[in-house]
Structure 1
Amino acid sequence: MSGVPEAASSGRHFGGAASSPAVPSQGREVKRVNPKRAAKLAARAAAKVSSRSTASQEALRLELESRKAEAVDDRRARRREAADHKHEVARRKRIERRRDR
């Protein structure tokens, strides 16, 4: 036993004390929404509905998105190449230090 009375460890009421029945909550039934968040969501929804663009605007938007994705890929590749180069330089230095011993 871990020092806990039998009644408490089995989930029963400790010391014979019974708990009172659940009381229904008197809280607000409708949760208040942050007014700034509500305004932001409303503006976003209005922008989606009213942003009917022409075909040329849609083409420009798609081109911009594809260029952004390409730039992300290029940046990721350059970062990976730089990390590989740094790793290779460190490896060469380690080998060279070992040879000098």
Structure 2
Amino acid sequence: MEHEDAVGRRVYGTDHDDPSPGPRPGRIYRELLGGPLDGQLFDVTDWMPEDLFTGALLLAPLGMYGPGGRADYGPHEDDPFGPWIWGGDTP
């Protein structure tokens, strides 16, 4: 996802009181769809190409398992370069 498409969106991992929680120019993001992090952007700029196909377990304090729980997000098989889809929560 290019920066221009994501203006006004919150990037995963930014503090809630961050005055600029949105995307930064020159960075590459995946939109997170579904689950506790729905609508946030995840920065994958420094990821190896093969790692983009596996997704990530992201800390999700508002998920099913509360603080310390994680949400599983990964690419949809029909669109490996598109948004990452929520696959569920894990402790």
TM-score under structure 1 normalisation? 0.19
Greater helix content: 1
Greater strand content: 2
Larger Rg: 1
| Greater RCO (CA < 8 Å, at least 6 residues apart) | 2
